[in-house]
Amino acid sequence: MSEQTLAQAVNGALATALESDERVVLLGEDIGRTGGVFRITDGLQAKYGEDRVFDTPVAESGIVGAAFGMAIAGMRPVAELQFLGFSYPAYDQIINHVARIRNRSNHRFTAPLVIRVPYGGGIGAAEHHSESTEVIYAHIPGLKVVVPSTPSDARGLLLAAIEDPDPVLFLEPIRLYRAIKEEVPELYYTTDIGPLRVEREGTDLTLISWGAMMKESRAAAALLEERGASVEVLDLRTLSPIDQHGIVESSAKTGRVVVVHEAPRTAGLGAEVAAIIQERALYSLQAPVRRVAGWDTVFPLKRSEAHYLPSVERIVRAAEETLEA
Amino acid sequence: MLTAGMLTLISPDGTVRDRLTITLEATRELYADMVEARTYDHKCMAMQRQGRLATYAPFEGQEAAQIGAAAALRPDDWVAATYRDAALMWRAGYPWELLIAGRTGDERGGQAPEGVNVLPPSITVGGHMIHAVGLAWAEALNGSDRVALTSFGDGATSEGDFHEAMNFAAVYRTPTIFLCQNNGFAISYPREEQTRSESIAMKADAYGMPGVLVDGNDVAAVLSVVGEAVARARAGDGPTLIEAVTYRLGPHTTSDDPARYRDEDEAGEWRRRDPLERVRALLERSGGWTPEWQQELETRAAAVIEEAVVQAEALPPPTGAEMLSRMYAELTEPLLSQMGEIET
């Protein structure tokens, strides 16, 4: 065990994967010499060599397409794209090839690759660097979408993603990279892709979130607790395949649900969560399911970030209205 | 269009232009393969007109480029090709019945037999070229001498993915063979208007790899240049771009009418350069062809293709459960609940 940030946990998981599975290779822009734009792969090329950790030309479609070919040929490539807003040139590869080859070949060819992408806002970055467009990936059949919000989940989920027989988009919340530290076991362990994590148990209301918004949800739950409400907090952590059972179980228990996400509200993943709840737990509900989300705008630049990102106050207000309804 | 330096070994009239390095028997086999491929192509066109196949993209006129290229490969090499490459895929080991099954609209047609390293055809244009880079790269990293060949048309060279694939292959010196079948058109848009480059082969220069121009209607020449590229790739000397100059005698697919965009005199001119006819003429002159043998080839090809059609059409109707089960190694929770709905 050692105390690690989420960034260190991802780095450690990649090192463990390179160590334990010779099929694992890493490829991406600037990941070798400089350790990537967020230094997540720091030291890995020096330690594991230039034939395991590849700096690539600036070509997202090429990176994902090449990783796809490598995966079909039996390797376990882990590709890094620098920001979610830079992933769209690779969208054709992901949606048209990576997510479909198992179906297209009736299981004969598969693409067990991982695409790691830092995502989300809150650090006052330039345009395109704060995107939270996870739902356009969660909508694609054949792909899995995973988002850790703690260092120990980051390690376990990333090792699970690398082992997974299907392609996994692994989204890393930029704002959490170095925001929290946690004891992380150094042994090889995996965290199942699929099941959500009950971060905190409660009986009056369920807060459902993922990624960086877990921080605000956690703080909101603590504040609500002080005011006398018992709040359950769920970390979805796998966006696809979504844990319908876990969502329904908690919703049926508390009867009041608020979904919190950073992405724009309209057609965000919160809509799917609300639909699952109304399909399978409507008669347990005491109040409408509420969404606290980003606005239907592009992610703003630094000076407007505070207007955009769901705040603890917004979450608490929505929760209190839901509790009173 | 630049054709200077284009390698031709067998002229359209069947005379040998340079010294042929393949035997008479090997030439007869290539000819027989082209006859079988054309029989398949004609059969598929007919079946599509009968409503038994979905949209079909014919390759008539391009048999030499496809059979010649595939003949240069080893059975365990990788192939990433397109919807117009059935002849190439078949010669690389992909059974006719699966190609037909795919065209009937059945995903089971995409399941190459174990040991056949031919990916199901790419329907989107251009995205698959980089796959042959990744496949070849993995083989090289694993110390194998397998190579990967990707086939695409002239139209695909306008895609950004062509650039990324060529650049990656050259940067990492992957054992990849880029086979461009320049058949004159991107659906309706003529090759001359698609690019100001005099040839497609010359684009290789910019990436730092060899570019080779070959008469795509000459099976011996295609076999020769692809063979050299394969040898170079296997030896660790990196990728090659080959431009096989050919012509699509038929429409883009069964859904279009080429008379709207091309001069039928031009098509007639290319018919006189038919890839099968020149080999037949050569063989006849060398004593390797008789009308009886031709008859025998056609009868055998028709029987082989007919049997493949029977097998493809005998596949039981796919179930809804099979459809849901193909997305992941194991059914996910959402798919499991949908399984309950689709079966009722």
**DSSP string of B254-304?**
TT--GGGTS-HHHHHHHHTT-HHHHHHHHHHHTT---HHHHHHHHHHHHHH
- Does residue B79 or residue A1 have the better pLDDT? B79
* Bridge partner residues of A205 (DSSP): A231
User: Which one-letter amino acid corresponds to residue A146?
Assistant: V
Distance of CA B299 to the CA centre of its chain: 24
Strands B176-182 and B148-153: parallel
| pLDDT recorded at residue B299 | 98
* Bridge partner residues of B20 (DSSP): none
Contact A57/B at CB under 8 A? yes
User: Which one-letter amino acid corresponds to residue B105?
Assistant: G
Residues of A in contact with B133 (CB under 8 A): 62, 65-66, 69
DSSP label of A311: P
Q: Which residues of B13-29 are buried (b: 16+ CB within 10 A; e: fewer)?
A: ebeeeeebebeeeebbe
| pLDDT recorded at residue A244 | 98
Contact A142/B at CB under 8 A? yes
Cβ contact B239:B175 at 8 Å: yes
Average pLDDT over residues A305-315: 97
Each residue of B266-283: pLDDT tens digit?
889 999 999 999 999 999
Q: Which two structure tokens, joined as six digits, stand for A297?
A: 């705008």
Helix (H, G, I), strand (E, B) or coil at A320: helix
Average pLDDT over residues B228-249: 97
Cβ contact B82:B69 at 8 Å: no
What CA–CA distance (Å, rounded) separates B41 from B34? 10
Contact B178/A at CB under 8 A? no
CA gyration radius for chain A? 19
Cβ contact B246:B65 at 8 Å: yes
Please determine, for residue B18, whether its predicted confidence score (pLDDT) is greater than 90. no
Please determine, for residue B165, whether its predicted confidence score (pLDDT) is greater than 80. yes
Q: From B147, B167, B30, select the one nearest B77 (Cα to Cα).
A: B147
Q: How many CB atoms lie within 10 A of CB B116?
A: 17
What CA–CA distance (Å, rounded) separates A225 from A222? 5
Q: Which two structure tokens, joined as six digits, stand for A150?
A: 């703690």
Separation in Å, CA of B298 to nearest CA in chain A:
31
Please determine, for residue B1, whether its predicted confidence score (pLDDT) is greater than 70. no
pLDDT band at B344 (very low <50, low <70, confident <90, very high): low
What average pLDDT does chain B have? 96
Q: Which residue has the tokens 């290229």?
A: B69
| pLDDT recorded at residue A79 | 98
Please determine, for residue A249, whether its predicted confidence score (pLDDT) is greater than 90. yes
Each residue of A46-91: pLDDT tens digit?
999 999 999 999 999 999 999 999 999 999 999 999 999 999 999 9
Q: From A157, A216, A198, select the one nearest A9 (Cα to Cα).
A: A157
- Does residue B20 or residue A210 have the better pLDDT? A210
| pLDDT recorded at residue B21 | 85
Each residue of B249-268: pLDDT tens digit?
999 999 999 999 998 888 89
pLDDT band at B323 (very low <50, low <70, confident <90, very high): very high
Separation in Å, CA of B327 to nearest CA in chain A:
5
Average pLDDT over residues B144-163: 97
Each residue of A106-127: pLDDT tens digit?
999 999 999 999 999 999 999 9
**Residue B189 region by backbone torsions, left for phi larger than 0, else alpha for psi between -120 and 50, else beta:** beta
| pLDDT recorded at residue A290 | 98
Residues of A in contact with B130 (CB under 8 A): 61-62, 65-66, 68-69, 93
| pLDDT recorded at residue B251 | 93
Scanning A73-118, the segments in alpha helix (DSSP H) are 91-93, 101-104
Distance of CA B250 to the CA centre of its chain: 15
Query: Catalytic residue numbers of B?
Result: 248, 252, 261
pTM value is 0.97
**Residues of chain B numbered 91-110 and touching chain A (CB < 8 Å):** 107-108, 110
Q: Which two structure tokens, joined as six digits, stand for B216?
A: 């795509």
Cβ contact A96:A65 at 8 Å: no
CA angle at A174 for the pair A170 and A175, rounded to the nearest 5°: 135
Average pLDDT over residues B190-214: 96
E-only strand ranges, A74-209: 76-80, 114-119, 144-146, 168-173, 181-184, 197-200, 205-209
What CA–CA distance (Å, rounded) separates A119 from B257? 48
Average pLDDT over residues A171-179: 97
Q: From A142, A153, A82, select the one nearest A112 (Cα to Cα).
A: A142
Question: B333, B336, B342: which to substitute to probe chain A, counting the most A Cβ within 10 Å?
Answer: B333
| pLDDT recorded at residue B2 | 60
pLDDT band at B315 (very low <50, low <70, confident <90, very high): very high
Strands B185-186 and B189-190: antiparallel
Contact B332 A241 (CB under 8 A): yes
Residue of A nearest to B138 (CA): A70
Please determine, for residue B224, whether its predicted confidence score (pLDDT) is greater than 70. yes
Which of A166-180, A272-286, B182-196 comes out lowest in average pLDDT?
B182-196
Q: Torsion angle of alpha carbons A13, A15, A21, A22, nearest 10°?
A: 150
| pLDDT recorded at residue B343 | 75
Contact B44/A at CB under 8 A? no
Scanning B122-174, the segments in alpha helix (DSSP H) are 129-141, 160-171
What average pLDDT does chain A have? 97
Strands A257-264 and B148-153: unpaired
